[in-house]
Structure 1
Amino acid sequence: MGTPLGDFVRAKRDSIQPESFGLPEHGRRRSPGLRRSDLATRAGISVEYLTRIEQGRDRNPSPSVVQALADGLSLNATERDHLRYLAKISGGACTGLQRPEPLSRDVRPTVLATLRLLEPAVAFVTNRLGDVLAHTGGFEAVMRGSGLLETPEPNLTRYVFTDPRARTFFADWHQVADEQAFDLWLGPSVETAEWFKAELAPLAGQEFTRRLDRQLPPPRVPLRLNHDTAHELRWHRERLELPRADAQQLVVLLPADETTAEAVERLRRRPGGTLRAIG
């Protein structure tokens, strides 16, 4: 049985073209990407040891080995953080599923005050499970009619995978689905994420479960929304990580073009949008 760490190393190695590292082609290969021997040489470890890591037979590589693998794969800063996280959970992964303490849905007063200052921008507070914990009136104006905010405790991940309207609302639904599934690897805790995945899987089906073993972070691209009254809206996204104890993020959607900015201004003039914290 593999580990998240081994799966990530193997997937990343398979995604690398040898010539991008200045390595010669060796003719036809049984699998795509970088050979194990190439990565082992770049990382300064033996092929046998790399094989054990990829197959999950070594679950506790030292920090220096993890760093060497990151260097050997030429990981960027985000990928290096993810590699260290996977090394941590692969060595001490949960062996059983017990319902964890529910995450607090409270948003600190100072964060709510920040949201007020952002009005009429499109912004919301979430966590890595996808819970929408608070939002601006601008966010409500844009999301109105999508179905996301129709439940007492809206959750973006659950909405993406279980509400048919999400496939129309998100122009690049597969991209958003990849992002939401990948975020579950990043917390708030291993136990909470595992429980959430086990609870959602029977409802979400194969589109969700087949994404759970993907270890490569999806690219962050502009978000495209098919709005029922404003047609396609395009957004850049900025994320502010709040203190670890909160396990929350402040996300701001910024219009990516003039057409979106003008459409959002029209949506804001519709009645009903106010700052809301969802308890």
Structure 2
Amino acid sequence: MGTPLGDFVRAKRDSIRPADLGLPDQPRRRAPGLRRTELATRAGVSVEYLTRIEQGRDRNPSIAVLNALADGLSLDTAERAHLRYLAKITGGVCAAHQRPVPPPREVRPAVLDTLRLLEPGVALVTNRLGDVLAHTSGFELLMAGSGLLDGPEPNLTRYVFLDPAARTVFADWDQVADEQAFDLWLGPSAGTAEWFRAELAPLAGAEFTRRVGRQLPPPTVPLRVNHPSGPQLRWHREVLELSGSDAQQLVVLLPADEATAAAFDRLRGAHRGQLRAV
């Protein structure tokens, strides 16, 4: 049985082109990516030990080993942080027999006040599970007609994988799906995320489980939204991590080009709304 840490190391190893690391291209490679022997040599560990990590038979590698693996895989800053997080939950989380308490949906008054200051801009408060906890009127206008905000407790991850409309709303659906699946590894707690993944997997199928198992941080690119009124809108996203143990984030969407800014100004001029806490 694999572990989050082992799955990540194996997935990252498989994704690397040896030539990018200055390794010779050997014609007898059975699969793309680094061989275990190559990574073991770069990291200074034995092939047998690397195999135990990837197969989940070693759940508590030392900090030195983690740093060596990060160097061997040429991980960037975000990937190194993710590697340390996976090592933590791999070694410290036991299987739970009872469903954990869901993360709170309440948003602190100070955060709501901050959200009000962003009106009439496009912003929301969410958590790593994808719960939409509060949002500005601008976000409601952006997602109008999409179906995301129709229910009493909207959740972006469930919407992306379970609502067919999401594939039309998000021009780069694969990118958004990768982002939502990856975020599940980051909280609010390992137990809660594990339950969420287990509940969603039978409903979402291979599109979800394949992405969750990949565990590779997706690239940061503009969000493209096909608005029901006609225009395609492109947004840069600024994400601010909020204090507390519930993994809440303040996400602000900024127009990525002048065409988006102009089109959304026209939409905003035709509608008026107010801040909403879900």
TM-score computed with the length of structure 2 as normaliser: 0.96
Aligned to 1:18: 18
Q: 1:97, 1:195 within 8 Å by CA — same for their partners in 2?
A: no
Q: 2:19, 2:25 within 8 Å by CA — same for their partners in 1?
A: yes
Shift of 1:48: 1.4
* Residue identity matched to 1:110: A
Q: 2:146, 2:166 within 8 Å by CA — same for their partners in 1?
A: yes
**Structure 2 segments unaligned to the other structure (5+ residues):** none
SS in 2 for 1:249: strand
Q: 1:97, 1:191 within 8 Å by CA — same for their partners in 2?
A: no
Moved more, 217-226 or 199-208: 199-208
Partners of 2:272 and 2:199 in 1: CA distance: 33
Aligned to 1:277: 277
Aligned to 1:3: 3
Partners of 1:178 and 1:149 in 2: CA distance: 21
Is 1:235 equivalent to 2:241 in the alignment? no
Aligned structure 1 segments of 4 or more residues deviating by more than 3 angstroms: none
Moved more, 33-42 or 258-267: 33-42
Shift of 1:140: 0.9
Shift of 1:135: 0.6
* Residue identity matched to 2:252: V
* Residue identity matched to 1:160: V
Shift of 1:165: 1.2
SS in 2 for 1:126: strand
Shift of 1:97: 4.2
* Residue identity matched to 1:64: A
Q: 1:137, 1:275 within 8 Å by CA — same for their partners in 2?
A: yes
Tell me the alpha carbon deviations over residues 122-181 of structure 1, each in whole angstroms, 9 at most, x when there is no partner.
Answer: 000000000001111111111111111111111111111111211111111111111111
Moved more, 65-74 or 209-218: 209-218
Tell me the alpha carbon deviations over residues 82-126 of structure 1, each in whole angstroms, 9 at most, x when there is no partner.
Answer: 101111111133323421112111111111111111111100000
Q: Do the aligned partners of residues 201 and 19 (structure 1) sit closer, same or farther apart at CA in structure 2, a change above 3 Å counting?
A: closer
Q: 2:188, 2:245 within 8 Å by CA — same for their partners in 1?
A: no
Q: 1:123, 1:251 within 8 Å by CA — same for their partners in 2?
A: yes
Q: 1:115, 1:124 within 8 Å by CA — same for their partners in 2?
A: yes
Shift of 1:195: 1.3
Is 1:122 equivalent to 2:118 in the alignment? no
Q: 1:127, 1:248 within 8 Å by CA — same for their partners in 2?
A: yes
Aligned to 2:58: 58
SS in 2 for 1:160: helix
Partners of 2:87 and 2:131 in 1: CA distance: 26
Partners of 2:198 and 2:57 in 1: CA distance: 25
Partners of 2:26 and 2:271 in 1: CA distance: 65
SS in 2 for 1:28: coil
Partners of 2:149 and 2:203 in 1: CA distance: 19
SS in 1 for 2:233: strand
**Structure 1 segments unaligned to the other structure (5+ residues):** none
TM-score computed with the length of structure 1 as normaliser: 0.95
Q: 2:125, 2:134 within 8 Å by CA — same for their partners in 1?
A: yes
CA RMSD of aligned residues (A): 1.4
Q: 1:175, 1:218 within 8 Å by CA — same for their partners in 2?
A: yes
SS in 2 for 1:145: coil
Tell me the alpha carbon deviations over residues 154-213 of structure 1, each in whole angstroms, 9 at most, x when there is no partner.
Answer: 111111111121111111111111111111011111111111122222332332223221
Is 1:135 equivalent to 2:97 in the alignment? no
Aligned to 1:165: 165
Partners of 1:167 and 1:38 in 2: CA distance: 39
Aligned to 1:72: 72
Partners of 1:95 and 1:104 in 2: CA distance: 22
Q: Percent identity?
A: 75
